A and B are shown apart, each in its own frame.
Chain A
Amino acid sequence: MPSSPLLQVQDSAATAVPAIRVQGVHKAFGNFQALRGLDLEVRQGEFFALLGPNGAGKTTLINLLAGLTRPDRGVLQILGHDVRSDYKQARRAVGIVPQELVFDPFFTVGETLRLQCGYFGIRPDPAWIGELLENLQLSDKADTNMRALSGGMKRRVLVAQALVHRPAVLVLDEPTAGVDVELRQTLWKFIRRLNAEGQTILLTTHYLEEAQSLCERVAMMKAGRVVALDRTSQLLADHSRPSLTLRLPSGDQPPGDLAGRATLLADGRWRLPLVNFADTEQVLAHCREAGLVVQDLEVGAPDLEEVFVAIMQRSGQ
């Protein structure tokens, strides 16, 4: 039977509610303004990155969303629920992976997860807990005391703990700090799958390549404000160009007008910004005409790191 029109209306109304809405949020610690009028909206189902240098205010924002900190003013909502006046619904809708490696040394991994689930008023579901443990490669640690885990394992328990009550929105505050390469990949595979199943994800990280490959949209913060917010592809297109890095016979310069565009790197190679990848052919043709033998060549794709540096410099003062 086709779904009723009423249900469809409800559905589209539901997706119109942003997963996270932050409007005009200010927060000071003593005399220090940590957040100065922050606006942000994360849509349902999005994989969203929140980037910024140390001290930008990312964790402060996350703590406000979690209700761990209170705003001086502004609106904070999760799935339309105000984090203060409607805190019960707001907190049910969100799972937080804190930046700090915190744990309760009295309990095992399994106990930790069952307790956390219970606090939300939900009966622990052994199948779901098993799935979380398996996907985070913790199955053999279920009965291990939290104290006996390595740092990376504790970090993964934090992820499981945030997901155990099946929140619609998952907030990850630097989840990969201290996690080895292999596990970082399994973690992302799992998070990606959750995202594909409709889970909204807000991620902060200092590994910009992670944000670039995972997130559809990116917000960049600096000194308590959002200084850039756009689709990842758009930010890349606006602020980053592909480039070509060449090694020429020593003493030789790039030919003709290319010399003006090129910068000499510390290792003796030349770096040339390109308009697009097709530009490569032209550069090489110029070299050939000038009789220069290209000894080494590397094509650099646009990357978020470059965007980040450009935006942080632009919004410098």
Chain B
Amino acid sequence: MSARNDIFAAIRKARHDGAAPATIISEAQACSQAMKRTLPPLDTSDLVGLFTARVSAEKVGATVERVAGLTDLPAAVGRYIAANALNTDFALQPDPRLEQLSWDNLRPGAPLRRDTALAVGLALGGIAETGSLIFHSGAEAPTLYGFLPLHHLVALDAQSLMPKLEDYAAFASGLPVPRNVNLVTGASGTTDIEGVLARGAHGPGNLHIVIFN
């Protein structure tokens, strides 16, 4: 017998699972609901405020600024470049909404490389509970833009914020499943030496989020 058949035979021998799919589905939903009832209270009246507080807390360690609209992103990028003494050329995530912005004297055409200093991207959404950015990979959102640069600057639409992880799960279940879902919570880091947190392991050492309306 094949390994697959052997394994399934062993599972079925241990668990005679005669439950109908409908029963299993409602049982699964009951499990999620039971977990939701235990969650700590979370005031979700101001999602931007909540997200900002989480993401700039020491354990997440990102920086945040708020601008009026996406058209203000180039100015925010210019300020970030100046503040961190970076080059004016940077890698831009190939999202048409970013590409059509007027970048003036900034140079967004740099290819993404293994030593890219700055990449600028656009998140699909954000989760306020944890201060996480959501990326779904695709032609307009290659995975590596979030992992190769030393600085990752991400634009986030205030309207795309959702309160909790469960809200993201519900949101995602209505979309095609992407190759990668990346929930990014702060700049990369490691506690591998004596449990002490050090920022900037293999991913970005700095995460800056620009929230627009």
Q: Do A and B bind each other?
A: no
